[in-house]
Structure formats: C-alpha cells, structure tokens
Structure 1
Amino acid sequence: MDLIGNQVEDHQSFLYKHEQLFADSFPLFKEIRRLGKLCDVILKVEEQTFAAHRVVLAATIPYFYAMFTNNMAESRIKEITMKEIEPRALESLINYVYSGHVLIDNHNVQGLMVGASFLQLSDVRDACAGFLISRFHPHNVLGIRSFADSMSCRQLIVAADQYIDQNFAKISQSEEFLALQCEHLLDLIHRDELNVRTEEVIFEGCMRWVKYAEEKRSKLFPQVLAAVRLPLLSPQFLADRVAREELIRSSHQCRDLLDEAKDFHLMPERRGLLQSFRTRQRCRELFTGQIYAVGGLASTGESVSTVEIYDPIAKKWNMGEQMSMMRSRVGVAVLDGKLYAFGGFNGTERLSTVEVYDPRKNKWSQGCAMLCKRSAVGVAALDDSIYVCGGYDGVTSLNTVEVYYPKTNTWKTMMKYRSAGGVTQLNGYVYALGGHDGLSIFDSVERYDQNEDVWVKMSPMLNRRCRLGVATLNGKIYVCGGYCGNSFLRSVECYDPLTDTWKLVTPMNCKRSRVALAANMGKLWAIGGYDGESNLSTVEVYDPEIDKWTFMPPMCAHSGGVGAGVIRFE
C-alpha cells in the first residue's frame, strides 16, 4: 500500500541511523558466547580450550580474518590448535574483541604483547608498549629494551633507547647492566647519544661490569676499554684513576689506549691526527630537560626577576621561583644540575652579583659576586668551571674574561674578549664569537684552550654579529640572529670544528637580536629577542634533521632580554 500516493511527486528520502546499534550488539555477542551458544570454533592452547564465533573473530582479529576467508584448512575444522601464544593471553584477547577492553598489568603485559603481535592486534600491542614505557626504571629498562628488540617493536625500542640515553649513570648501577653480554655492553657504550656528565661515568660503569665476573671477563676488557672515550677524560682522572687500575697496567692493549689519551692532552697541536670516535664528544645536547627563561624584560620594558620554565613534553610555560634581583641581558649557564645567573641590568645599573638556582630545593641563593659589573655577557660552562666573557659595565665594553669555580666559590680574571658576543663550549674548548668593541661589530671567532691557556683564531663567521644567540648541538656550533650594524638578523650559521668551516642553514622566521639560544631534545630553541621595533615573547625551534624552524608556545611573562639554560629531567 502506497501511503503517500502515486499522485504526489517526492524525490526526498530519509536515512534512519541507529547510533547505538553496534555498541548494543557486541555485549549481546559476549553474552551469547558466555552461554556457549552458536559457537562454531574452539581454539586450543596447550591443554586449555576457548569457544568463540568465527564471524566475530574474523571481523576483529586480522590473523583469523586471513585464516577463515582464504579457504585454509582451519576455516573448515571445528578445533584449531594455537602454538605461538600463551593460554592466558589468548583468553584475554578473545575477551577483548567481544568487550573492547583488556586489563594490562605487570604480570601479563609481556604475554599480551606477544599474543597481540601474533594476532596482528596492533592497538593492543601499542597499548602494551605504552604501558611498558610508563614503567621504565633504571633497573628494568635494559630488559624491556631486549624484549622490544625481540618483538621488533619500533615504538618501544626508540622510547627505551631515549630513556637509556638520559639515565645511563643510574642504569650502569643496575643488576641488568652487570648481567649484559659483552656484545650488548659494547653496543650500549658506543652510543653517541649517551647523556653523561663526563666520560668518567662510562669508564666506571665498565669497570663495575668487568669486575662483576672478573675471572671470565678480564680477557674481554681490552675491547671494552677501546669503546670508552679515554681522551675525553681529564688529565687528572687519567693519572689518578685510570693509570693506577691493575687491569689496565697488566694489559699491553690497554696501556696503548691510555697512551693515546695522554697524547691527546699533551700534544693538542696534533689532535687533528688523533681524530677517531674516541675523541668525539657524546651528544649531551640530546638530553631532554626543562628550559629556564631567566630575568629579561616585562611588556613595559622594565627589567624583571621573573623566571619561566618550559616543559617540552607538555609544551607549556609555567612560572618558576623568581630571583632576588631584577636582571635583563643576564648571562646564564648550567653546571652539575644547577642554574647560574651572572650580572645583567636592573634598570638602573649593571650588576656584578651572581645567583644560583637549585631545582631540588626550588630555591635561589647568592653566589660569589664577579669582579666586574657586566650586562650583555657571554657565558659557557666547561668541566668544573664557568667562563663569563666580555659585556658592558655601563661605561665601556669589557675585554676581560672571568672564570668561576663553583666548588670553591672563587673567581680568576684573564684578558681577551668583546661585548655582546656569544660564548659556548665544544670538544673541551671555549668558543667566543662575534660581539663588538664599542666601534666595530665582529665576525671573528676565537677558541680558548684551557690546558695551554691560549686563545686561537678560528675561521670567522659569514656575517658580522653582536647580540647573537649561540649554542652547541650534535658536535657543531650554531649562531643565530643578532645585529650586523645595519639590520637586525634572522640568518643562522653552523660551524663544523672538523673542517673549521661555516655554512648557512634555514633562517629563523623572525629577526631576533638579544636572542637566547638553547639546545634541548636534539633541537635548538630560539627564545625572545628584539626585532628592531619591539621586544619578543615568541619562541621558535630548529630541527637540524629537516632544516626547519617552527613556532612553539610563546613565553607568558617575558618580552625578550632573557637568559636561557636547560636543566635535564632527573
């Protein structure tokens, strides 16, 4: 019967959709299975059996879809024997496809992940990987990394490697580390990405490993020591610790490695001939930490004592504990997990005072004041000291360098430098770049050798720059922005110490002088600055792998003039 009638032309139609149909149906499938009704297949693992419906398994599990729809023998038989999965895991995964949820815990995660991988349930496999990542600890991550490798789970492998890189010092104290096979130990300590305070951590870890089973491992020790970057150890440590170790003294191969390290320090002019992976700095810049934007300017242009902290994981700025003094154009360095703020301008005068932030106590304290008042100062930490270079005292551009020793809270002065330049450290040297003397802006670069106590000229930058940002990343030096005397810059240059050459990379999105540049997570973070018209709160990040700058969340309480330092996550 035509209710509308043939006389009425109506080309419209109505689509009825039951939004809850599927959500309502699957609980019923589960109940039908619980009652044992309409089940047409039995899965057997060891001595346990599980009844299910072929159509449900095929619709939800790729492994069974392939089995039941491709005319395989199993598509016709009632009972199928499974061999690559634990009974408990199979039961949980069958329940999962009927219910949409599965409980993952410390006891079942490994079996579940193996089962999910076998059945091609990628969502469950990834959930298991995420669960393991959330449970990383220095005492279990090596075992998880080995498991991830056996599963070819890229997500878990990458996350485990990153955790190992950031926490090697603690991991090297674990039972898992001591139980490593030699080839696995060598793979680990060869990594450029290990983030250790000094190479001493690697050496001591290897000594613990060999002495854990000395009778069996002593013959392997020369090849283990060959993977340690002995030239990166300090001369004092080489003499007082390494040279006195009996396992080294009794091995001709080990003594040769020690001699190579000594030559590296005794004959710096021949270091170019001694280049190998053992002389290459590990990429400490790849660690993940919080970026501290210290001091700087308010939107009104006034100097502030404010501190903002950027969490690169949450991608969010938060307010930190403020300093006791207002400071813009302040020098900042991080050493041994503490952040140091040197000098700056408080709106009235240049400062010589120093403040030290301890993140464990969330507290600033006073350090020993510098010998000179300084703003627009370049700062770099190297070994156990901090170099504070040049700057402006309110009257003249300074050509002195002060070296601060936190352990003794003392200073010493040396001559040489310029104002508003950049300073960084690389491969055991302090580099001073650009700046001005009150009349001329420089493109020059000098390198300080603390063993010889000399400054050496290196290849100049491609552009003259003062008020530039400088940071070290992946064994190279990057400089960005600044002022050349005619214009404010957004160009970026990269220096390769092996060839002593500079090249241009992709410029920043914004012109930035007085920019703070920090290395974190294998990337460069350009923070704040001045574009010639206004102070900047914006932040952009450079990824060297794709040669691209991307904007990140801006600072909340600063408008340029900040100093920046990175304190790694513990």
Structure 2
Amino acid sequence: MSVYNELRLEQKLCDAVIRVDNVTFPVHKIILCNCSTYFKALFTIWSTPDSQDFHIPDVSPDIMKLIIEFAYTDSVHVTQENIQELFVSADKFDVQGIVQACCSFLEALLSPRNCISIWWFTDFYYTPKLNQKAFLYMMNYFEAVASTSEEFLLLSIQELVKIIENDQLNVRQEKTVFGAIVRWVCHATEERKEYIPLLLSTVRLALMSPKFLTDVVRNSELVLANKECRPILIKKLAAMLDFQTKMVPGSSFYNTLDRPRLSPTIMLAVGGWSAGRPINSIEAYDVRADRWINVPNNDETPRAYHGAVFLHGSVYCVGGFDNVQQFRSVHRFDLATHIWYEVTSMHLRRCYVSVTVMDGCIYALGGYDGRVRLRSAERYQPSSNQWTVIAPMHEQRSDAHCTTLHGKLYICGGFNGSECLSTAECYNPETNQWTLIASMDSGRSGLRVIAYANHVFAVGGFNGTRRLDTVEAYNPNTNTWLPMPSMLNCRSNFGIAVIDDCLFVLGGYNGSRTTLEVECYDFTARIWSYVSGMEISRSALSCCTVYGLPNLADYSAPRQALQPSNREEDALE
C-alpha cells in the first residue's frame, strides 16, 4: 500500500478527483473501492466509466482527508475532537475499518458520565457490539451512573425501565435502585410522577429490609401521592411476612420482583481432592443468590494441588497432581465456549504450586516436582504462548500461596521439605528481584493469601502440628503483620476469593476430613458467617473470580426457579 500512497501523493496514475468544498483529492478509484462499498457504487454504478470528477457533499475536507488516507494506509488517527464527525462520515460511506477504530476508541473512553451517550449514539448508528458493551458498562457501574451522570436524568421512561428491570443491574442493595428512581422523577416531577407505580413495580422490593420498605419507601412523598403504589407495597409486605411466619417448604418466593440480581463477579472452585482422589469438576458461586451451580466442561484430567487464575476471558489451570504424576501442563478453559485447550507447558513440573496474575502475565512459583521442593519461578505471556524463567525465590516453597498488590508479587509460607514456613517475600518485576519481608506470626503450609484494601491477608493453613483458623494481615507500608478475626473453622488447602468487599473461604481439610463448608468475612462488620456450601467436599482445590463475561448467566443460578437461601432468610429477619 505504501507504493499506492506514494503515487497518490505524487498525483501519478490517479483516475479520479474527490471534491469537498473547494478542496480536491486526487485518488485511484480501485483503492477507494477496496475499503468502501459507497465508493465502489459511486465509481461503478452511479457514474459512467469515464467520469473522473466527483463532488462529495455533507463532509468536511479534514474528515475526507482522513478517510482517503485510511484507504491507502489502513490507519487513522482518532481523537476526542474528531471522533463524532469521523464516526458519522465513516458510517455514511461504509468505511468499516474506521468505524471499528472509532468503536475501539469509544470503548476505551467509557465512564459513568458518558456511557449513556455512547449507548444512545451506537444505537442510532447501529454498532451492536459497542452498544451492548456500553449497556453492560452502565449495568456494571449503575451506582456511579445513577448518582453522577447528567444523562441519566434524560433517559426516557422506556429506557429507565429497561435498565432497572434487568437482572444484570449491579447493585449491592436494592435501595440504590429506589434512590435512582426518585432522582430521575424529581428532575421533572410534574411530567414524571405518573410513572411512579410502573417504576416501583420493577424494584426488587423483597430484597429490601422491611424497615427500609416501611420507613422510607412507603413514606416517600412521591409514593404517598399516588394511590396506585399502595397495593404494590401491601402485596409485597404481605408476601415477606408470610414467608417469615409460615416458612412453607418449597414455597415460591422469587418472581420478577423478588429474585436477586446477577452478580457481575462469579467465584469458581476448580478441581481438587475429593473422596480420596483428584477430581475435574468446576462449581460456580453466585454471591447475590448464595447458590452453587455445576459448570459443564470437557476436561477429562482430574487435578489437585494446582493453581487456577482468570485472564482475558479464560481460566488457566497450572500444574498440579493427578495421583500419579506432577504436571508441567497448563490448560485454558474458554468461559464463552466451555471448552478446554492446552497451552505451552511450564519448564518444570509443579505440584503444590503458587499461581497469580500480574500485568497480564501468569506467574507460577515454587512447588514440588516429585523429587524436591522448588525455589524457581516462571512467567507466562499469553500473547506469545511462552514461559520465561524469572529470578528464584530466597526459600524453597511448596504448598505456599501468593497474590499481587500495587505492582508487586507476594508469596507467604509453604513447606521447604522439613518445616512449615513463616517467612514471606516480595517480587519486583521491574528489577527481577525477590526481597524477604517480615515473617508471619505463625508457620503456615497450605495457607491461602489474598490482597484487599492495601493489605495482604494470610489465612488458615497447617503449622506442622494442627490446622489453623487464624488470619493475619500484612501492611507493606510498615512491613508488619497484624492479627485479624479468626475463621469459624480451621482449614488448610482451601479456596479463597474476595467479592463485594467480602472474603470467602471454601472447602479444604480441617484436620479430620475434607469439607464443603464456605465462610464469608465481612470486612466492614469484621464478622465471619456461613454461606451456602459447595455441592462437593473438596480440598487442594484452586479458586478464582471471573468477571466481564458476555454469558454471565451460564455461571449464575437460574433466576426463574430460585428459592430463598439461608443467607436471604437471615437478611429478612
């Protein structure tokens, strides 16, 4: 193409002239035909073969220059200043390459303040992929959108209903939806107050506490002023009271107004050790519904003591053990298709491996190769499908665990072949160096480590004598560990994840048996509580959270058939 562009710039062999206002652009017809059906029709259908002069209306010379340059170079410079005019013109002239470049630019710009305007814009110009991404962005960040976006106040009633009745609306508390409705109505009260009953009927009222429902919703001036709201509230309060007093087994509680919203983040429990053998099953935890569901997959390789991480829409299973051999292999589970693929194997076999993700790469640290406990570490780059050896750790560590915080990697505890370790170290990818940090208060093998709120939390494990229920938190700023509230049960080799400002621990071994029990720690209330247990007792599992999925419902409890869980019953008390 560089040759054709040189000829264009030198005005050689050109067979047409594009005129925009008083500016002329000598071009080669065949080059423009290649990138635009509009120009192909203009040169071959709407004009005679000997036509050379073409006037193009309703476009500026600057934008036409960009379009012609794109036809010759396959690149375009998109800016916030030119994107709207460029997008409209590219759509008009059917230059799909520029349309896609503009869509990518807009997607990167998505924010709570502009996602609605991008949603409107891409609906009018029919770019369904970006339109859906803008809508999902609005769903995922609804609280910020509803409270800060001026465009939220300009939504039509049909658009607002479409948003708030959607299961994918991401709100931790349903009262947020009621507050958003009030803000929207109050922006133009006289014109919009008639919509209060319709909007109120789309709020999941049964997910509110009875106190909020009676004290706030029922006493709202907008609700009191409309007689049609009263039957809706009475019906909902009666249903909630009936459920609390009668507790009819198997009674239908959830309908379109009662069922919990979909969680944007799902927790997966992958593989592990159960009933005396490794397994290959996957369970997904839907935090909003407090339900576990089985995830179909085509993996025939059972594995335990492995690592599982989420990256770019896939779950990667790294290393592990099948009761016969330690693995070098790495498999990728495509969450969109439910299909496993094998990727490049690690340099070494690694059972009891520590795995995490940082800056788009997967790190595999330490482990056991069947002969010795390892100090070595390696890093996987998905774009090149290659593993690279990085600096070794200070300690041999198998059955340790790791996490990332502020661009650094932290690994804690583990077993070195003779003792359970209390030591911890930090890896800086910029210098490729490990640094020992303050040791934990207790030796921990089979622990789990996770980052939250600028701290690294070390949870549970085995100290060489017994399984632990204790938790401690590391502050990188002070290089100190502080005790945290203990779990309800002691456990080692369990799963761990953080969702909605709560820490979940699942499964593991408690010293006498493998468990399916799951606990949740509320960071705000500083309290541990039980949630629904897994369907399978398993230890030596790996756990990760997944998000941003277009097929989120595949990993969520079916909303149409939900019955209230213990967690939801407690919320109603």
SS of residue paired to 1:252: coil
Aligned residue number for residue 350 of structure 2: none
1:261 aligns with 2:236: yes
1:155 aligns with 2:140: no
Q: Which runs of 5+ in 1 are unaligned?
A: 1-21, 312-316, 413-422, 424-429, 435-464, 468-512, 525-540, 546-570
Pick aligned residue for 1:431 from 524, 527, 532? 532
Greater displacement, 209-218 / 286-295 = 286-295
The one-letter code sitting in structure 2 at the alignment partner of 1:219 is E
Pick aligned residue for 2:213 from 212, 235, 238? 238
Structure of higher RCO (CA pairs closer than 8 Å, 6+ residues apart): 2
Aligned residue number for residue 217 of structure 1: 192
Distance 1:409 1:308, change over 3 A: closer
1:197: how far off? 2.0
1:283 aligns with 2:257: no
Q: Which runs of 5+ in 2 are unaligned?
A: 269-308, 311-353, 357-363, 375-396, 413-423, 425-439, 556-573
Aligned residue number for residue 97 of structure 2: 123
1:151: how far off? 1.4
Pick aligned residue for 2:81 from 66, 86, 107? 107
Greater displacement, 99-108 / 280-289 = 280-289
SS of residue paired to 1:105: coil
1:117: how far off? 1.9
1:190 aligns with 2:162: no
1:32 aligns with 2:11: yes
Q: Deviations over 1:334-384 (max 9, x none)?
A: 999999765332343221212458999999753223465444678899999
1:106: how far off? 0.5
1:368 aligns with 2:485: yes
Q: What is the percent sequence identity of the aligned residues?
A: 28
1:516 aligns with 2:538: no
SS of residue paired to 2:97: helix
Aligned residue number for residue 93 of structure 1: 67
1:43 aligns with 2:22: no
The one-letter code sitting in structure 2 at the alignment partner of 1:43 is R
1:229 aligns with 2:204: yes
1:319: how far off? 2.9
Q: Deviations over 1:175-205 (max 9, x none)?
A: 1112212211112222222222222322222
Please give the alpha-carbon distance, in whole angstroms, between the structure 1 residues aligned to 2:365 and 2:37.
57
Contact 2:403 2:450 (8 Å CA) reproduced: no
Contact 2:445 2:461 (8 Å CA) reproduced: yes
SS of residue paired to 2:41: helix
Contact 2:36 2:96 (8 Å CA) reproduced: no
Greater displacement, 387-396 / 191-200 = 387-396
Bigger radius of gyration, 1 or 2?
A: 1
Contact 2:493 2:509 (8 Å CA) reproduced: yes
Aligned residue number for residue 181 of structure 1: 156
SS of residue paired to 1:32: coil
Aligned 1:410-429 pairs, distance under 5 A? 410=527
Give the aligned length: 406
SS of residue paired to 1:275: coil
Aligned residue number for residue 33 of structure 2: 58
Aligned residue number for residue 402 of structure 2: 307
Q: Deviations over 1:63-103 (max 9, x none)?
A: 21222123x24655555444564554223212433454432
Contact 2:143 2:171 (8 Å CA) reproduced: yes
Please give the alpha-carbon distance, in whole angstroms, between the structure 2 residues aligned to 1:388 and 1:91.
58
Pick aligned residue for 2:526 from 382, 405, 409? 409
Contact 1:58 1:64 (8 Å CA) reproduced: yes
SS of residue paired to 2:228: helix
Aligned residue number for residue 319 of structure 1: 409
The one-letter code sitting in structure 1 at the alignment partner of 2:402 is V
Please give the alpha-carbon distance, in whole angstroms, between the structure 2 residues aligned to 1:359 and 1:250.
55
Aligned residue number for residue 502 of structure 1: none
Alignment TM-score, normalising by the size of structure 2: 0.58
Please give the alpha-carbon distance, in whole angstroms, between the structure 2 residues aligned to 1:375 and 1:332.
12
Distance 1:42 1:388, change over 3 A: closer
SS of residue paired to 1:520: strand
Distance 1:381 1:64, change over 3 A: closer
1:522: how far off? 6.7
Distance 1:382 1:245, change over 3 A: farther
Contact 2:402 2:448 (8 Å CA) reproduced: no
The one-letter code sitting in structure 2 at the alignment partner of 1:187 is K
Distance 1:155 1:75, change over 3 A: farther
Please give the alpha-carbon distance, in whole angstroms, between the structure 1 residues aligned to 2:266 and 2:514.
35
SS of residue paired to 1:281: coil
1:345 aligns with 2:462: yes
Please give the alpha-carbon distance, in whole angstroms, between the structure 2 residues aligned to 1:109 and 1:375.
54
The one-letter code sitting in structure 2 at the alignment partner of 1:41 is V
Contact 1:166 1:288 (8 Å CA) reproduced: no
Contact 2:400 2:411 (8 Å CA) reproduced: no
Aligned residue number for residue 143 of structure 2: 169
Please give the alpha-carbon distance, in whole angstroms, between the structure 1 residues aligned to 2:53 and 2:545.
59
Please give the alpha-carbon distance, in whole angstroms, between the structure 2 residues aligned to 1:521 and 1:403.
19
Contact 1:166 1:287 (8 Å CA) reproduced: no
Please give the alpha-carbon distance, in whole angstroms, between the structure 2 residues aligned to 1:337 and 1:248.
43
Contact 2:265 2:499 (8 Å CA) reproduced: no
Please give the alpha-carbon distance, in whole angstroms, between the structure 2 residues aligned to 1:177 and 1:362.
45
1:252: how far off? 2.9
1:396: how far off? 8.0
Distance 1:405 1:102, change over 3 A: closer
Q: Please, what is the CA RMSD of the aligned residues?
A: 4.7
Aligned 1:389-408 pairs, distance under 5 A? 394=511, 406-408=523-525
Please give the alpha-carbon distance, in whole angstroms, between the structure 1 residues aligned to 2:239 and 2:473.
34
1:139 aligns with 2:110: no
Distance 1:347 1:125, change over 3 A: farther
SS of residue paired to 1:89: helix
1:153: how far off? 0.8
Please give the alpha-carbon distance, in whole angstroms, between the structure 2 residues aligned to 1:318 and 1:115.
45
Please give the alpha-carbon distance, in whole angstroms, between the structure 2 residues aligned to 1:373 and 1:288.
21
Aligned 1:377-526 pairs, distance under 5 A? 394=511, 406-410=523-527, 430-433=531-534, 465-467=536-538, 514-521=540-547
Please give the alpha-carbon distance, in whole angstroms, between the structure 2 residues aligned to 1:128 and 1:233.
41
SS of residue paired to 2:532: strand
1:386: how far off? 7.4
